[in-house]
């Protein structure tokens, strides 16, 4: 009886040990199959159009359509780079810069400043000191400046003085002012003693006794009180 019981116990131990080993083996097999499955799955993955993904960007074997634009992290205070002007460097880039400069000054959009030659000559004479009877870059008076601008831009020769220019021009209303028209003022003494060239948005360029060649506003209280009229000039007397 004892021998029989001992035999049963020994058989039970053998069966129990075998079950544990079998469980361990099946666990290893399952893990291996999962790993193999992942590797096989990775081999089957293909990106569309040979595009590969890298954190922050995408790359492809095909060339990009359009300009190559790269982004950079900028530190505080760094200036953003604007695209370069299209076309040859030099005059075109200067024209773009003048349009932007005077668009701010004249409170106008860049597209409205299409007469770049006018901007160039204003910028050329900008800040030149005022002196009565002057006509050079050392100093110039108001009527000499209008002579220079009108002759250079419109090929029209004006009389020398502001009063003569007023009589020479065809008088127009304030609401009819266009670029290149003349605006006249009485700043003391004679009936017409000051003249400037109208630009746009009530702005005009002139040689002022206070600041030389500059741009002022017709709505400024000083000039509004002294405004006498406007005139349009032609290649021959009207």
Tell me if 52 is assigned to some domain: no
Tell me if 125 is assigned to some domain: yes
Tell me if 33 is assigned to some domain: no
Tell me if 82 is assigned to some domain: no
Beta bridge partners of 155: none
What does the pLDDT read at residue 184?
98
Query: Who contacts 113 (Cβ-Cβ below 8 Å, separation ≥6)?
Result: 98, 99, 102, 103, 106, 119
Tell me if 158 is assigned to some domain: yes
| Tokens describing residue 130 | 């005022």
What does the pLDDT read at residue 33?
43
Tell me if 99 is assigned to some domain: yes
Report the CATH number that the domain containing residue 161 is assigned in CATH: 3.90.1720.10
What is the number of structural domains in the chain?
1
Q: DSSP characters for 13-59? A: HHHHHHHHHHHHHHHHHHHHHHHHHHHHHHHH---GGG-EEETTEEE
Q: What is the pTM of this model?
A: 0.61
Catalytic-role residue among 114, 163, 171, 206: 206
Catalytic-role residue among 114, 131, 142, 163: 142
Bridge-based pairing of strands 203-208 and 194-198 is antiparallel
Location of structure tokens 């002579």: 147
Tell me if 61 is assigned to some domain: no
171 in catalytic set: no
| Tokens describing residue 134 | 């002057």
139 in catalytic set: no
Catalytic-role residue among 19, 131, 163, 194: 194
What does the pLDDT read at residue 120?
96
pLDDT by residue, tens only, the chain of 238 residues: 555 555 556 565 555 555 555 444 444 444 444 444 444 444 444 443 443 433 433 333 333 323 332 333 333 333 333 333 333 445 666 778 999 999 999 999 998 999 999 999 999 999 999 999 999 999 999 999 999 999 999 999 999 999 999 999 999 999 999 999 999 999 987 699 999 999 999 999 999 999 999 999 999 999 999 999 999 998 754 4
Distance CA 119, CA 135 (A): 19
What does R_g of the chain's alpha carbons equal in angstroms? Answer: 43
| Tokens describing residue 123 | 């910028």
* Domain, as residue range, for 185: 91-232
194 in catalytic set: yes
């Amino acid at each position: 009886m004892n021998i029989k019981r001992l035999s049963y116990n020994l058989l039970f131990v053998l069966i129990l040990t075998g079950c544990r080993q079998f469980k361990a083996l099946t666990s290893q097999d399952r893990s291996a199959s999962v790993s193999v499955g992942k590797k096989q799955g990775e081999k089957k993955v293909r990106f569309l159009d040979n595009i590969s993904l890298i954190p922050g960007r995408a790359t492809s074997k095909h060339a990009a359509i359009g300009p190559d634009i790269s982004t950079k992290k900028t530190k505080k205070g760094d200036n953003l780079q604007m695209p370069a002007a299209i076309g040859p460097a030099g005059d075109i880039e200067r024209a773009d810069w003048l349009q932007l400069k005077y668009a701010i000054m004249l409170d106008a959009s860049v597209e409205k400043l299409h007469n770049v030659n006018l901007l160039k000559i204003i910028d050329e004479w900008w800040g030149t000191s005022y002196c009565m009877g002057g006509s050079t870059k050392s100093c110039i008076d108001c009527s000499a400046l209008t002579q220079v601008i009108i002759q250079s831009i419109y090929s029209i020769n004006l009389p020398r003085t502001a009063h003569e220019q007023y009589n020479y021009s065809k008088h127009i209303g304030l609401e009819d002012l266009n670029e290149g028209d003349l605006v006249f003022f009485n700043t003391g003494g004679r009936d017409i003693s000051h003249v400037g060239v109208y630009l746009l948005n009530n702005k005009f360029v002139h040689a002022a006794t206070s600041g030389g060649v500059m741009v002022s506003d017709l709505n400024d209280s000083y000039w509004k009180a002294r405004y006498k009229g406007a005139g349009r000039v032609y290649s021959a007397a009207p």
